[in-house]
């Protein structure tokens, strides 16, 4: 995560963060979501989640596929086990997804980790804390800063992944800036001011915005992006 470099940038981010805090307090965003998903100790499911999540409905499309991987392919909890599995059944069947773009992204992520000698969850989590990994991930077609931060969140690192939910909430708070790094800093500062983890605040905003879109009749059935065995675009 990159922070503002000048004092003016810091003050601007803090001012915007206070607007976000005000809206979060007004709407009870954090208080309504007291838990979030623990890290998923399954490399195959983590990579599937990261590769599939962009542009898809998380609850109805992504989560069911990630849950299936966890339940049916426990051997794929390690990267080597995952490669053995897909050698047997194929990547498309493993993901239950056949469109080339996301299948290719999944394969590229997996190949990068193998080239980096990563096999299990703990090695992946350690690697993601090395700033040098971001450039390598970003070199994969379709992997932007949000996907990298999202992947960090999946292993339990305290990152904000700026998605359409974050942008919508910030806009409602009166923060109209479009720059990814600036918005990430604003939401991170807001979480700090509220005294909650950034992952918690990210999940809370996701749930709140999703519930607003879903309507009253479905609000009790929506899942947190960091809740249960498997995370949002």
Binning pLDDT at 50, 70 and 90, where does residue 33 land? low
pLDDT, mean over the chain: 88
Mean pLDDT, range 93-122, rounded to an integer = 97
More confident residue, 83 or 232: 83
Contacts (Cβ under 8 Å, ≥6 apart) of 127: 113, 116, 118, 133
User: 109 and 51 in contact (C-beta within 8 Å)?
Assistant: yes
Instruction: Answer yes or no: is pLDDT of 67 > 50.
Output: yes
Which two three-digit tokens encode residue 161? 């992944």
Q: Per residue in 194-205, pLDDT tens? A: 999 999 999 999
Q: Per residue in 123-132, pLDDT tens? A: 999 999 999 9
pLDDT at 213: 73
Q: Per residue in 150-163, pLDDT tens? A: 999 999 999 999 99
d(CA 24, CA 5): 26
Q: Which CATH architecture has domain 43-154?
A: Orthogonal Bundle (1.10)
Domain ranges of the chain: 7-36+160-221, 43-154
Mean pLDDT, range 17-28, rounded to an integer = 96
pLDDT at 59: 86
User: 129 and 157 in contact (C-beta within 8 Å)?
Assistant: yes
Contacts (Cβ under 8 Å, ≥6 apart) of 139: none
d(CA 44, CA 94): 9
Q: Per residue in 73-105, pLDDT tens? A: 999 999 999 999 999 999 999 999 999 999 999
Which two three-digit tokens encode residue 224? 């947190």
d(CA 90, CA 85): 8
Instruction: Answer yes or no: is pLDDT of 61 > 70.
Output: yes
d(CA 73, CA 68): 8
> How many beta carbons lie within 10 A of that of residue 37, not counting itself?
19
Binning pLDDT at 50, 70 and 90, where does residue 30 land? confident
């Amino acid at each position: 995560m990159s922070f503002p470099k000048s004092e003016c940038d810091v003050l601007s981010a803090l001012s915007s963060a206070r607007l976000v805090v005000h809206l979060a307090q007004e709407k009870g965003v954090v208080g309504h979501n007291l838990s979030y998903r623990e890290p998923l100790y399954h490399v195959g499911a983590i990579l599937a989640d990261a590769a599939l999540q962009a542009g898809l409905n998380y609850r109805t499309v992504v989560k069911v596929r990630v849950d299936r991987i966890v339940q049916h392919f426990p051997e794929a909890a390690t990267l080597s086990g995952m490669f053995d599995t897909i050698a047997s059944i194929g990547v498309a069947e493993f993901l239950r997804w056949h469109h080339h773009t996301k299948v290719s992204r999944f394969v590229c992520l997996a190949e990068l980790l193998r080239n980096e000698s990563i096999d299990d969850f703990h090695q992946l989590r350690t690697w993601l804390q090395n700033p040098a990994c971001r450039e390598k991930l970003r070199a994969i077609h379709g992997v932007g800063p949000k996907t990298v931060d999202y992947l960090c969140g999946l292993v339990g690192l305290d990152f904000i992944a700026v998605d359409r939910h974050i942008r919508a909430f910030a806009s409602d708070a009166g923060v109209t800036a479009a720059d990814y790094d600036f918005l990430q800093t604003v939401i991170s500062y807001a979480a700090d001011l509220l005294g909650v983890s950034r992952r918690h605040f990210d999940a809370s905003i996701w749930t709140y915005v999703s519930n607003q879109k879903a309507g009253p009749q479905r609000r009790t059935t929506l899942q947190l992006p960091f809740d249960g065995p498997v995370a949002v675009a």
